[in-house]
Amino acid sequence: MSAVAEQQTRVPSPTAGASAAPVQQQTVNRRRPEQGSRQEWIVVHVLYLIIVIFFFAPFLWLLTAAFDGDAVAYIRWPAQPTFANFTYVYQNFHIGRALANSLFISTATMLLSVVLVSLAAYSLSRLEFGLKSVVTYGVLVLQTMPLSATMVPIYGLARDLHLRNTYLGLILVHSAIEMPFLIWLMKGFFDTIPRYLEEAAWLDGRSKFRAWWEVVMPVARPGIVVIAGFAFLNAWSEVLMVIILVDDPGKSTVPLAFYQTFRSNGGYNEVNYGLVAAVGVIYVLPVIALFFSLRKMMVRGLMSTSRGL
Amino acid sequence: MATMTPGRGLIAWRRNRSLIGGLLPAASLLSLFFVAPAIWAIYTSFTNRALVGLDARHPRHVGWANYERLLHSPAFKTVLINSLVFVVGSAVIGQFLLGLALALLLDHGEHRGYRATPFVYGSVLLAWVNPTVIAGFLWVAMFDFYYGSLNKTLELFGLSGVSWLGKAPMLSLIIVNTWRGAAFVMIIFQGALRTIPSQIYEAARMDGASAWQRFWDHTLPNLRQVAAVVLLSVTISTFGAFLLILTLTNGGPGTKTEVIALYAYHAAFQSRQIGYGSAIAAVMLGLNLIFAAIYLRVSSPKI
Amino acid sequence: MAEIQFEHVVKQFPRQASPAVNDLSFTVNDGELLILLGPSGCGKTTALRMIAGLEEPDSGDIRIDGQSVVGMAPKDRDIALVFQQYALYPHLSARNNLLYPLKIQKISKQERQHRIDQTAELLKISHLLDRKPNQLSGGEQQRVALGRAIVRQPRVFLMDEPLSNLDAKLRTHMRTEIKTLQQELRATMAFVTHDQAEAMTMADRIAVMNGGRLQQLATPDEMYKFPANLFVAEFLGSPPMNILPVRQMDGHLSVPGGWSIPEPSRTKAPAELLLGIRPESIRVVAAGTPGAAPASVIVSEPLGSEVIVNVNLGETMVRVRTPPDVRPRPGEIVHLQPDLDGVRLFDKESGANLRS
């Protein structure tokens, strides 16, 4: 482009020596690696290896033991690779029943939680100032209450209300325990939804409730998925409350079955690792599957709580 | 923020009516299972109620007797110390430091684009996400004296096995709890690290700061706020730890790992003394309230 | 102070279709304020970051003061960079922000204090020094960012769109301030912006870039009057240069709408041409004036000191600058006469300017 060359003002560079190479020649690049050295790569990956071993080893054992007819307490390739543990457990430990119960309770809890939490979280998010801070602090305080402190009273309460060994009791309790956390999470989510959506609906004559249902909730769908995921996961995993509330084997859940498998009858000396591991796998699998499919959303939700601080 | 002007009294009540209505269902459930039990615990702690026997039928009001018993009980002192050691060891030191280290390492790995990073991340999360009793069971196997993976590995190196749950129960518990909870701390710190704009680091590079100086002068100070909150958070959750310890040691051997939650449980369900157990629970709730107040003050969350 | 030289620099980012910087060569003279101007993505920021050392070229050379800096760490280059978002250290006070580079370089306490006082006075931020960045307004933050660069007394200043985050009024004010500062310090400055008005008012010379390539390097005046190609012609000037199609007839060029331009002397005869003429080079005249063509008015935009009249000439919309009292209404017919000195011709294919 001759026009360009013409316009370019060129000042003779006052260089001597090294850089006196003719301008047309391309200079060889002394490029520093922008991406860290070889050594650093090795160090980081060694650390990675150690971390993975530390965190994953127990699960490796779970997998190898569950599929081993002659399971031992240490990690090794199964001596007798088999599905026998699973079939045995299914037939003798009433796992089928427990699975059905767990599924039912977890799903019901998930549904109940989603409804109650969205209602409460939205209301909290849009509440006017004075009352709002009181309720918010209340929710936060509830979140810090340890289950281990309330389990004794809940036992007494459930007994008096005849909620022990009932599906209703289990569903209510499972919903209640995660609720403060879920409300807090969902409230944060609603806070990010701009008010003009519902305001437009109000101007159109909708009641607050309809506006919420028709306009805000669809936008909040990703948050709801996260809440539902957490609710289901926690309900499925919950064992403490089940221990307190259930002694009827017909109402047993997978977590309880698992717990009783290895901790009943005074100790764990005579446990058949393979069998317990099999129950463990049944217990853990849905949790892991669900969590890892929803992982990104959940972690983002959790991270955002740190940003709100 | 609110587009309506905050009002007083009746007008505010009218406007917020439907919102308060939205809160009611959740509030009733929470009252039933959080507030009512707390009140029940406090009330019962003033009685000598029991699970069986005479006192089950007609519990008597005994005033502060349970609390006095608690204060003078040497077992309780042991329990408090155990709880303290456990919380400091596994939360303050273990989970916090390990979580921080993991966050820094993985953040660094992410920036360098190391493809192994998500897998490491996943394995750390796995330890956190799995149910507590599973974790307990897994580590019971790991700690097994004759056949556990840990001792088997030690044998490989020619070292003798350790009686983890027998001779070093508290240490073992701390290891497991750290293993469990580091992920939470890691996630929070990762979130905080991501909020530091990369331009800050570039500016520091331009100003002449070395990699270490950039970390010390810019990464750490910006993590300070989050650190305080996270620390309190893990302290609070570890304080109420119950299931993990129940599964691994059940407070033993003897009372070496009896923490406060277990003490309440044993009193209520093994000794059958619900009144006494409730007193312990009430103390727990009280301590927790104090922690929660500090937490709220420090974190000043977005209302 | 020092001069900067780019020589056939190429930089391509992975997963991008074309190079961010493609065979870029230019020089920033000692003590001059050179502005790298262009639309987003044209490569100007990448070029700046390569001077800073935050990116490295794939090939080609970059020299400061005659010495190649390729491969050299940023801190060894003795340059300062002012970021678009200021990048002030949020946990440090303004004073400590200014102190930081000096501490790293281990400058004596006395000298540090002296430089900070001097710089703070220069930028009028002495009263703000104990505040944290989040307690400062945008303009104040920007001055602190400038200060952090100045205290280092570097041989070269780099600025990456430092004024983009300021409101219009503050921006024009800071333009003058920065220019004055640069002249006072006699600093060599490379400044990146996408705002052509900014470039015109501040630069000693402008380097226009597009698609990673240098389009033209010249003083603002020269560039405005003699743009090297269509891109530069349309980029500079507000409202932009009018571009009209032309047909070549024998002896003259005909613009649809009625203008007739005498054919200029050329060495080559390109196939198709475009005519460029700036709004101020068109005059509204009385009907019947030789060389004038009729055009229908679309709308007049009065700006106080002048009026921009949008008209339809032929089928092209053309903008004309008129004195404040000339304000034809929509639908009126006005007669436009081109100032032949202001006519530029461009090759339709390559966009290059043919001498008019």
In-domain check, residue B70: no
Are both C67 and C164 inside the same structural domain? yes
In-domain check, residue C303: yes
Nearest C-alpha of chain A: how many angstroms from C206? 10
* ipTM score for this prediction: 0.86
Amino acid at C202: M
Q: How high does pLDDT run on average in chain B?
A: 86
Provide, as residue numbers in chain A, all residues whose Cβ is less than 8 Å from the Cβ of C8.
26
In-domain check, residue C322: yes
- Tell me the residue range of the domain where C309 lies: 242-354
Peptide bond before B253: cis, by omega within 30 degrees of 0? yes
Which of A170-179, A206-215, A261-270, C166-175 comes out lowest in average pLDDT?
A261-270
CATH of the domain at C283: 2.40.50.140
Against a cut of 0.90, is the pTM above it?
Answer: no
Are both C133 and C169 inside the same structural domain? yes
Here the tokens at position C136 are 């400062």
CATH of the domain at C188: 3.40.50.300
- The tally of domains found in chain C comes to 2
In-domain check, residue B241: yes
Q: What is the pLDDT of residues C49-72, one digit of tens each?
A: 999 999 999 999 999 998 999 988
- Maximum alpha-carbon separation in chain A: 97
State the average pLDDT over residues C164-171. 88
Facing residues of C252 across strands?
A: C249, C262
pLDDT in the model for residue C356: 46
Q: What is the pLDDT of residues A99-118, one digit of tens each?
A: 999 999 999 999 999 999 99
In the predicted structure, residue A18 carries a pLDDT above the cut 50: no
Provide, as residue numbers in chain A, all residues whose Cβ is less than 8 Å from the Cβ of C58.
29
Q: Please judge whether A116 and B23 are an interchain contact, meaning their C-beta atoms are less than 8 angstroms apart.
A: no
pLDDT grade, residue A265 (50/70/90)?
very low
pLDDT grade, residue B94 (50/70/90)?
very high
Pairwise CA distance, residues C297 & C332, whole Å = 5
Residue A222 to residues A109, A218, B1, B67: CA-CA distances in angstroms?
A: 19, 9, 22, 48
State the average pLDDT over residues C168-195. 92
Are both C214 and C246 inside the same structural domain? no
pLDDT in the model for residue A301: 66
Q: How many CB atoms lie within 10 A of CB C71?
A: 14
In the predicted structure, residue A139 carries a pLDDT above the cut 50: yes
Of A145, A153, A231, A152, the residue nearest A186 (C-alpha):
A231
Which is more confident, C355 or A294? A294
State the average pLDDT over residues A189-217. 85
In-domain check, residue B45: no
Are both C23 and C172 inside the same structural domain? yes
In the predicted structure, residue B206 carries a pLDDT above the cut 80: yes
In-domain check, residue C236: no
**Domain map (residue ranges) of chain A:** 40-82, 94-307
Are both C279 and C318 inside the same structural domain? yes
The three state secondary structure string of chain C is CCCEEEEEEEECCCCCCCCCEEEEEEEECCCCEEEEECCCCCCHHHHHHHHHCCCCCCEEEEEECCEECCCCCHHHCCEEEECCCCCCCCCCCHHHHHHHHHHHCCCCHHHHHHHHHHHHHHHCCHHHCCCCHHHCCHHHHHHHHHHHHHCCCCCEEEEECCCCCCCHHHHHHHHHHHHHHHHHHCCEEEEEECCHHHHHHHCCEEEEEECCEEEEEECHHHHHHCCCEHHHHHHCCCCCCEEEEEEEECCEEEECCCEEEECCCCCCCCCCEEEEECHHHEEEECCCCCCCEEEEEEEEEECCCCEEEEEEECCEEEEEEECCCCCCCCCCEEEEEECHHHCEEEECCCCEEECC
Are both C203 and C273 inside the same structural domain? no
Pairwise CA distance, residues A69 & A64, whole Å = 10
Q: Please judge whether A3 and C57 are an interchain contact, meaning their C-beta atoms are less than 8 angstroms apart.
A: no
pLDDT in the model for residue C268: 59
In-domain check, residue B40: no
- Tell me the residue range of the domain where B232 lies: 77-270+288-299
pLDDT in the model for residue A20: 36
Q: What is the pLDDT of residues B49-81, one digit of tens each?
A: 776 666 666 777 888 888 888 888 888 999 999
- Given a contact cutoff of 8 angstroms between Cβ atoms, the answer to whether C279 and C308 are in contact is yes
CATH topology of domain A94-307: MetI-like fold (1.10.3720)
Q: Which of C227, C262, C292 is the last residue of a domain?
A: C227
- The tally of domains found in chain B comes to 1
Are both C202 and C261 inside the same structural domain? no
Question: Which helix (H) or strand (E) segment is A50 a member of?
Answer: helix A38-66
CA atoms within 13 A on the CB side of A198: 23
Pairwise CA distance, residues C88 & C144, whole Å = 8
Q: What is the pLDDT of residues B154-200, one digit of tens each?
A: 888 888 888 888 888 999 999 999 999 999 999 999 989 988 888 99
In the predicted structure, residue A14 carries a pLDDT above the cut 60: no
Nearest C-alpha of chain B: how many angstroms from A64? 12
Q: Please judge whether A209 and B108 are an interchain contact, meaning their C-beta atoms are less than 8 angstroms apart.
A: no
Q: How many CB atoms lie within 10 A of CB B89?
A: 19
Are both C141 and C32 inside the same structural domain? yes
pLDDT in the model for residue A12: 31
Of B161, B139, B147, the residue nearest B245 (C-alpha):
B139
Are both C22 and C85 inside the same structural domain? yes
Of B279, B301, B300, the residue nearest B44 (C-alpha):
B279
| Residues in chain B, overall count | 303
CATH of the domain at B208: 1.10.3720.10
Are both C23 and C147 inside the same structural domain? yes
Pairwise CA distance, residues B222 & B200, whole Å = 11
User: Nearest-CA residue of chain C relative to A30?
Assistant: C71
Are both C210 and C272 inside the same structural domain? no
Residue A156 to residues A162, A269, B30: CA-CA distances in angstroms?
A: 10, 32, 17
In-domain check, residue C122: yes
pLDDT grade, residue A303 (50/70/90)?
low
pLDDT grade, residue B274 (50/70/90)?
confident
In-domain check, residue C148: yes
* Residue corresponding to tokens 């192994």: B116
Provide, as residue numbers in chain C, all residues whose Cβ is less than 8 Å from the Cβ of A7.
216-218, 222-223, 226, 228
In-domain check, residue B85: yes
Q: How high does pLDDT run on average in chain A?
A: 79
pLDDT in the model for residue A176: 93
State the average pLDDT over residues A275-286. 88
Of C89, C82, C88, the residue nearest C162 (C-alpha):
C82
Could you give the percent of chain B with pLDDT greater than 70? 92
Q: Please judge whether B125 and A308 are an interchain contact, meaning their C-beta atoms are less than 8 angstroms apart.
A: no
Question: Chains contacting C with at least 3 CB pairs below 8 Å?
Answer: A, B
- Given a contact cutoff of 8 angstroms between Cβ atoms, the answer to whether B175 and B244 are in contact is no
pLDDT in the model for residue C241: 92
State the average pLDDT over residues B260-274. 86
Which of A8-22, A62-76, B240-254, C3-17 comes out lowest in average pLDDT?
A8-22
Q: Please judge whether A128 and B289 are an interchain contact, meaning their C-beta atoms are less than 8 angstroms apart.
A: no
